[in-house]
Amino acid sequence: MADVKPINFGGHRMGPGFPLVIIAGPCVVESEELCLRVAAEVRDICRENKLPYIFKASYDKANRSSVASFRGLGQQQGLDILAKVREGTGVPVLTDVHSPEEAEISGPVVDVLQTPAFLCRQTDLIIAAAKFGKAVNIKKGQFIAPWDAENIIAKAHKAGNMNIAICERGSSFGYNNLVVDMKAFPILHSFGVPVVFDCTHAVQLPGGLGHASGGQREFVEPLARAAVACGIDGLFLETHPNPDKALSDGPNMLFLRDMPAFIKRIAALSRFVREGLGV
C-alpha cells in the first residue's frame, strides 16, 4: 500500500494502524426519532465489534431524479436534528454540503463535511469545505477516473486541510448502472489519503425506476467485503428500519435489522486483512 498518512476523521483516527471506520445512517433526515434510533443502534453494534462509528444523514438531497421527490426537512431543521443526535448519542455526525455557504453554516454543527459525488469538481465548494478545518469526505464522481481524483485532493490540501478522505462509490457503466473497479482503491491510496468505500450507493441504479433511482441491495455485502479485502480505511453505508418505505434511496439501503450480522462479518474480515497487510 502507498504511504497513506492517518488523519483525524470526526474525532477518530482513520488510516494505517487504526480500525476500519464505519459511517452509517439513513439517506436523508426524515425525522428526529428515526435519526436517534439508527444512530443509537448502529453505535452499539460498532462498539460491540470495536469499530469507530460516525452517524450520517443528509439534511437536503439536492440531486433527485424527480422534482416531486422528498429532499429533506431543510438545512436548519436538519442541522438541529443532527446536533441532537450528536448530543444524545455521543457519536460524531457527517452531512453533505452543496455550496460554500452551506459549508459555513454546517461546519459548526457537524464533525465531518461531505462533498457530493456530482459536485466533486466544484473548486469553490471543495476549498470552502476544506478551509473550515473539519474533516472532509470527498466523494469521487461516478463520471471521473480514479487517477483524476488526485487533482481534487490537491485542491483540499492547498486550502490547508490535511484531514481529507476520498470516497469511491462506483463508476457509470452504460445507462442506469454503476460498476466498482477494484483497481480504484490502490490508485486512490497512492495519493497518500485514507480511502472510504460507499457500498450502498455503489449498487444504485441511477434513475433506474424512471421517477427515481433503483438499487440492488443484495450486492452490498459482496462489494463491501471485496473493498475491505483491498484495504479500505472507512466503510460508508445507508441503513433504515424499513428501506422499502424510506423517503430516499430505499432500494440500495440495508435493513437496520441486518446490521448486527453484517457489521460482525465486516469487522472480522477487516481485522484479518489489516493485520495481514500490516495496516
Provide the β-strand partners of residue 8. Answer: 13
Instruction: State whether the Cα torsion 84-90-96-97 is positive or negative.
Output: positive
What are the domain boundaries of the chain?
7-277
pTM for the full predicted model: 0.93
Residue 211 is predicted with a pLDDT of 54
The tens place of each residue's pLDDT in the chain, 279 residues long, gives: 569 999 999 999 999 999 999 999 999 999 999 999 999 999 999 999 999 999 999 998 666 555 656 666 788 999 999 999 999 999 999 999 999 999 999 999 999 999 999 999 999 999 999 998 899 999 999 999 999 999 999 999 999 999 999 999 999 998 888 999 999 999 999 999 999 999 999 998 876 454 556 678 899 999 999 999 999 999 999 999 999 998 887 889 999 999 999 999 999 999 999 887 766
Residue among 52, 60, 51 nearest 79 (CA):
60
Residue among 203, 207, 120, 195 nearest 165 (CA):
195
Distance CA 129, CA 273 (A): 32
CATH 3.20.80.10 is held by the domain 7-277: no
Distance CA 95, CA 60 (A): 9
Residue given cell 459511517 in the structure block: 23
Distance CA 225, CA 199 (A): 9
List of residues 6+ apart from 279 with CB closer than 8 A:
1, 4, 16, 17, 231
Residue 206 is predicted with a pLDDT of 74
Distance CA 174, CA 143 (A): 11
